[in-house]
């Protein structure tokens, strides 16, 4: 292989794929990035066997070839090198990088030692949507997830497709977020409904690589999914298991329905959180007659505080305890200046959403008190 490439182009590609390079001691080849020329393109590939990313780098191809180079060493060189124009060549299992005043020879591996990246058999059926739309939707639901060893099915995003909508859901059993993308916002060649579990790590890597412009296509088969944009591809295995049947716990009615300023609500939570110590526990009370929400917190060693917020309220609710950080996460995800906040008893979930947008809601469980 012999190519000429601009440093920043190569740096962008290594940044996109470098995080998933594996560290399996039984498979040291996973620490490498595969560089190959194909169809007049320079393609970088990294994988940990669960996720694989291919990224196309523009450059001038003088001689075709391929090699698997250590991603950390290559990334460090490219990040610190001063020259903009790089000459890259291979000699069997050696990768040479040359500039006007610098030369490095990296001990690498032959490309045939690099794992084969699986193919999606059915590439006729796909869903296409704006990259930014998918990026925003993923960010709105992934905040409700966290790693669980006891319930591995929760380490995923539930994706459900029908001809009417594309739904994304995540939960950690303490909170849950659902985002619905209407069929007017995507195109599809798939007529059959389907659902699958996308691993959280795959979702996080997908969010990192999704741009603010352009479109992305999603392909799938029985246990694999492929996301493809103009410059990159992300392949992921689907997670096994069944996502919780969450619909039955989503409240249909509320004891208290509150319309409140998002900014004021978030600020009150931050202030109350100062006195919540390590528990992140705050107390929230809705008073119908006063048309206010009272948020308070206390700690024996720190002190106490109380914040009163004006709000439009229908109904009432007794004192309920919440994790203020969980509430704050939900507020950040809602894209409106005014927030709908629905509450019931202290053993039932509360819901945060926009009063004007039915495509998204965030559900959070109260902290149960003995």
Q: Classify residue 166 as exposed, middle or buried by CB count within 10 Å of its CB (0-12, 13-18, 19+).
A: buried
What gap in Å lies between CA 144 and CA 170, rounded to an integer? 6
Cβ proximity of 10 and 57 under 8 Å: yes
Count the alpha carbons within 13 Å of 174 in the hemisphere toward its beta carbon.
Answer: 17
Q: Is 291 helix (H, G, I), strand (E, B) or coil?
A: coil
**H/E stretch holding 325:** helix 324-333
* Helices of type H across 23-122: 71-80
- Residue-level pLDDT at 78: 96
List pLDDT tens digits, range 40-70.
899 999 999 999 999 999 999 999 999 999 9
Is there a contact between 87 and 78 (Cβ–Cβ < 8 Å)?
Answer: no
Q: Would you say 215 and 128 are in contact if contact means Cβ atoms under 8 Å apart?
A: yes
pLDDT digits (tens, 9 = 90+) for 140-199: 999 999 887 778 888 999 999 999 999 999 999 999 999 999 999 999 999 999 999 999
Burial class (CB in 10 A: 0-12, 13-18, 19+), 194: exposed
Given a cut of 70, whether residue 8 has pLDDT beyond it is yes
DSSP one-letter code for 107: E
Residues 6 or more apart whose Cβ sits within 8 Å of residue 310? 260, 291, 292
Which DSSP string do the residues of 331-364 spell out, in sequence order? HHHS-SSEEEEEE-STTS-EEEEETTEEEEEEEE
Average pLDDT of 94-106?
A: 96
DSSP code, position 366: P
Per-residue model confidence as pLDDT tens digits over 114-141: 999 989 998 999 999 999 999 999 999 9
- Mean pLDDT, all residues of the chain: 93
Q: Where are the beta strands (DSSP E) in 133-255?
A: 156-161, 165-171, 175-182, 186-188, 194-199, 215-220, 224-228, 232-237
pLDDT confidence of 231, banded at 50, 70, 90? very high
| Rounded-to-integer distance, Cα 222 and Cα 209, Å | 24
Q: Which percentage of the chain shows pLDDT scores above 70? A: 99
Give the pLDDT confidence score for residue 4 in this predicted structure: 96
Does 370 score more than 80 pLDDT? no
**Is residue 74 exposed (0-12), middle (13-18) or buried (19+ Cβ within 10 Å)?**
buried
How do residues 298-349 score in pLDDT, each as one tens digit? 888 889 999 999 999 998 888 899 999 999 999 999 999 999 999 987 789 9
Cα–Cα distances (Å) from 323 to 141, 144, 264, 361, in that order, read 18, 13, 17, 17
CB 234 within 8 A of CB 55: no
Closest C-alpha among 50, 44, 52 to residue 15 = 44
Q: Counting every residue, how long is the chain?
A: 370
Q: Are 109 and 67 in contact (CB under 8 A)?
A: yes
Report yes or no: 14 and 71 within 8 Å, Cβ to Cβ. yes
pTM of the model: 0.93
């Amino acid at each position: 292989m012999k190519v000429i490439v601009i440093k920043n182009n190569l740096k962008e590609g290594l940044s996109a794929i470098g995080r998933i390079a594996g560290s399996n001691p039984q498979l040291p080849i996973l620490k490498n990035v595969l560089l190959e020329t194909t169809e007049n393109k320079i393609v970088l590939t990294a994988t940990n066997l669960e996720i694989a990313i291919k990224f196309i780098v523009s450059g001038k191809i003088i001689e075709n070839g391929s090699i698997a180079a250590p991603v950390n060493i290559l990334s460090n060189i490219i990040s610190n090198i001063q020259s903009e124009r790089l000459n890259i060549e291979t000699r069997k299992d050696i990768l040479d990088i040359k500039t006007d005043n610098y030369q490095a020879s990296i001990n690498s591996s032959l490309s045939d030692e690099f794992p084969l990246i699986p193919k999606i058999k059915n590439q006729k059926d796909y869903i296409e949507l704006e990259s930014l739309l998918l990026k925003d939707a993923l960010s709105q639901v992934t905040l409700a997830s966290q790693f669980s060893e006891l319930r591995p099915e929760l380490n995923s995003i539930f994706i459900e497709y029908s001809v009417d909508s594309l739904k994304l859901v995540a939960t950690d059993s303490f909170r849950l977020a659902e985002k619905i993308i209407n069929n007017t916002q995507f195109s599809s060649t798939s007529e059959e409904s389907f659902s699958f579990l996308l691993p959280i790590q795959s979702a996080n890597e997908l969010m990192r690589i999704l741009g603010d412009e352009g479109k992305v296509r999603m392909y799938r088969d029985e246990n694999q999914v492929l996301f493809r944009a103009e410059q990159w591809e992300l392949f992921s295995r689907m997670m096994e298991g069944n996502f919780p049947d969450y619909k039955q716990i989503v409240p249909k009615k509320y004891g208290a329905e509150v319309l409140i300023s998002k900014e004021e609500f978030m600020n009150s939570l931050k202030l109350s959180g100062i006195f919540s110590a390590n528990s992140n526990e705050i107390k929230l009370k809705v008073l119908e007659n006063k048309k206010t929400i009272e948020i308070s917190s206390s700690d024996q060693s720190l002190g106490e505080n109380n914040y009163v917020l004006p709000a439009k309220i229908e109904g009432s609710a007794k004192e309920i305890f919440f994790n203020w950080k969980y509430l704050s996460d939900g507020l950040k995800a809602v894209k409106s200046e005014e927030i709908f906040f629905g509450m019931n008893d202290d053993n039932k979930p509360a819901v945060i959403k926009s009063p004007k947008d039915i495509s998204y809601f965030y559900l959070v469980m109260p902290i149960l008190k003995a």
